């Protein structure tokens, strides 16, 4: 299982939001590339990046910060936020992003996901961000009528590399992962699932491992790492032991 440290980008800075609200941003580092280097030096194996401004505006906004991160580190990177067309997907893959996360466009233009998976097998993930069980889009500003499972099943045969499942009600709030909903989704589909939203401590990682669900690829951690509630050495050692 992989623990993905998260770098959420807002106005060129590394921040964390609470429940996805842009006006509740805490700045943790004004040098995202240095933060990425710190995560690499700590021993993490994969980085999770989100262009928060891009998610709201529907196009890349923090491209400079993302490019600086890609130049600074050797880790594979998955990137989401404002990626709504094939041109943007291609541009980021050419610049060195390992995996593209499609969120809003997966709901509004599912054909894009199918086309991208055919063209770039193994390099397209879908971000399913749920609010009260319904998928939210446009930087979580709109809630659709679809459930996460409805959405995930649309892409069962498309070749999606992973589903990133975020419980918005827990995101940034350190309330613990929604393990029950994550496992239920992972067991209902064949696409690997990554847990996101609310990871508070190493206990969340232990609980996720205890489920024994083989279809969970990993979990994303943001605020718990920045606050020091999650020790990188301890969690990396735990995951290596469990492998």
Go through 35-47 and write b for each residue having 16 or more CB atoms within 10 A of its CB, e for each that does not.
bbebbbeeebebb
The gap between the terminal CA atoms of the chain, to the nearest Å, is 7
State yes or no: is 129 an active-site residue: yes
| Backbone phi and psi for residue 89, each to the nearest 5 degrees, phi listed first | -60, -50
φ, ψ for residue 130, nearest 5 deg: -105, 135
Residue 164: strand pairing partners: 127, 194
Written as six digits, the tokens of 139 are 């930087």
Among candidate residues 129, 167, 171, 204, the one labeled active-site is 129
Interhelix angle 202-210/179-188, nearest 10 degrees = 40
Contact between 239 and 2 under an 8 Å Cβ cutoff? The reply is: yes
- Write out 90-143 in H/E/C secondary structure: HHHHHHCCCEEEECHHHHHCHHHHHHHHHHCCCCEEEEEEEECCEEEECCCCEE
Catalytic residue among 8, 51, 167, 171: 8
Q: Is 132 in the active site? A: no
Catalytic positions, written as ranges: 8, 129
């Amino acid at each position: 299982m992989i623990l993905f440290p998260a770098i959420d980008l807002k106005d060129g800075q590394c921040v964390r939001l609470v429940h996805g609200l842009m006006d509740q941003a805490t700045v943790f580092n004004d040098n995202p590339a240095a933060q990425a280097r710190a995560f690499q030096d700590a021993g993490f194996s994969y980085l999770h990046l989100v262009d928060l401004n891009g998610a709201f505006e529907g196009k890349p906004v923090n491209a400079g910060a993302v490019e600086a991160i890609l130049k600074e580190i050797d880790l594979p990177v998955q990137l989401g936020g404002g990626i709504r067309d094939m041109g943007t997907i291609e541009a980021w893959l050419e610049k060195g992003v390992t995996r593209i996360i499609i969120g809003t466009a997966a709901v509004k233009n599912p054909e894009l996901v199918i086309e991208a998976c055919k063209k770039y097998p193994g390099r397209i993930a879908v971000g399913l961000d749920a609010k009260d069980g319904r998928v939210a889009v446009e930087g979580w500003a709109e809630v659709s009528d679809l459930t996460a499972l409805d959405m995930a099943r649309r892409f069962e045969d498309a070749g999606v590399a992973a589903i990133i499942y975020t419980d918005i009600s827990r995101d940034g709030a350190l309330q613990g992962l929604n393990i029950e909903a994550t496992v239920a989704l992972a067991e209902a589909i064949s696409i690997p699932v990554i847990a996101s939203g609310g990871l508070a401590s190493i206990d969340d990682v232990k609980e996720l491992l205890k489920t024994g669900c083989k279809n969970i690829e990993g979990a994303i951690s943001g605020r718990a790492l920045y606050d020091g509630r999650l020790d990188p050495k301890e969690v990396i050692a735990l995951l290596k032991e469990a492998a």
